[in-house]
Amino acid sequence: MDIKVKDYNFIIGKGILIFLFLILGVSFFYLPHSVTEINTKLKLSPPSFSFLLGTDNFGRDILSRLMKGSQTAFLVGSISVVIGSSIGIFLGSISGYFGGKIDEIIMRIIDAMMAFPGILFALMFISVFGVGIENTMIAIGIMSIPTFSRITRSGFLREKELEYIKAAKVRGASNFRIIYHHILPNVISPIIVAVTMSFSNAILAEAALSYLGLGVQAPNPSWGRMLSESQMYFMIAPWYTLAPGIMISLTVLAFNMLGDFLRGYQEK
């Protein structure tokens, strides 16, 4: 049987996601050790039966902190995508459906947001409103609004001129019903692809902000913060750096591969 590249993307991406969700699910009920338990006598211990991925510079179990950090990663990814997609879809649908001055105003705002580097905006937002996971999610969510707005607007511009929309208007359907019951369901496919990509971008952005000390704060575990704390010990304890780095890479890879598959499926 001939398996295409996009099928491999789905198979590999799905396999990695199952593994990640398994870690996430288990972390809610079981952790090998406390994520805040400090034992300086065991600091930077190599992987062993007691500590499968070794310990960090405070003697804390790296595996337990990775598992707990998965909760942070998926929480930030989920909430930020909800914020970005809900606002972006609303703006894109209004802009694409009504056009005219409304479209011009909304698109100029979106263009201004796109001209401003996302990570720079997040840094500015967190500097003004303070560090923490809540502000991190809001900042990353705002970063993804332009993507969803443009994708939604493009779909609405295409669909609103088709015959079934004209027929709905003739039957007296309201603008709200046409937008959310007729057009939006028909433009949802590219939005779903954007969700997978935005999710991976959100996790990467959270890791970057935590790496810089502006995201999740100690002692709460975050893959990006673990990566930052481990870099000075790379030569003597490489497992400390590799563990969070691999988790970040696998998560981003899985969602990107799933997004590539969905994009290819959509183009059939």
| pLDDT for res 67 | 94
What is the Rg, in whole angstroms, of the alpha carbon atoms belonging to the chain?
A: 22
Average pLDDT value over all residues in the chain: 87
**Calpha distance 153→88 (Å, rounded):** 9
- Arithmetic mean of pLDDT, 61-74: 93
In a domain, 225, yes or no: yes
Range of the domain at 73: 67-266
* 142 in a structural domain: yes
Answer whether residue 46 is part of any domain.
Answer: no
- Distance (Å, whole) CA 2 – CA 24: 34
Average pLDDT over residues 187-207: 90
pTM over 0.85: yes
Contact status, residue 125 vs residue 148, Cβ threshold 8 Å? no
- From start to end of the chain, where are the E strands? none
Residue 72 in domain: yes
The residue assigned the tokens 């609103």 is 160
Question: What's the domain count of the chain?
Answer: 1
Calculate mean pLDDT across residues 43-57: 90
* 204 domain-assigned: yes
Please indicate, yes or no, if residue 75 is contained in any of the structural domains.
yes
**Burial of 40 from C-beta contacts in 10 A (0-12 / 13-18 / 19+):** exposed
pLDDT of residue 118: 77
pLDDT number for residue 5: 55
At 265, the pLDDT band (50, 70, 90 cuts) reads: low
In a domain, 95, yes or no: yes
User: Which of 3-7, 188-192, 207-211, 252-256 has the least mean pLDDT?
Assistant: 3-7
Model confidence at 88, pLDDT cuts 50, 70, 90, reads: very high
- Mean pLDDT of the 215-220 span: 78
DSSP conformation letters of 27-48: HTT--SS-TT---GGGTTPPP-
Whether the Cβ atoms of residue 42 and residue 51 lie closer than 8 Å to each other = yes
Q: Identify whether 98 is part of a domain.
A: yes
CATH of the domain at 116: 1.10.3720.10
pLDDT of residue 152: 93
Task: Report, as an integer, the average pLDDT of 7-24.
Answer: 89
Q: Is the pLDDT of residue 2 over 50?
A: no
Per-residue pLDDT of 115-156, as tens digits, reads 877 778 888 888 888 888 888 899 999 999 999 999 999 999
CA–CA distance, 261 with 9 (Å, rounded to integer)? 6
Q: Please report where in the chains the tokens 């183009």 appear, as a residue.
A: 267
CA angle, 28 as apex, 27 and 29 as ends, to 5°? 90
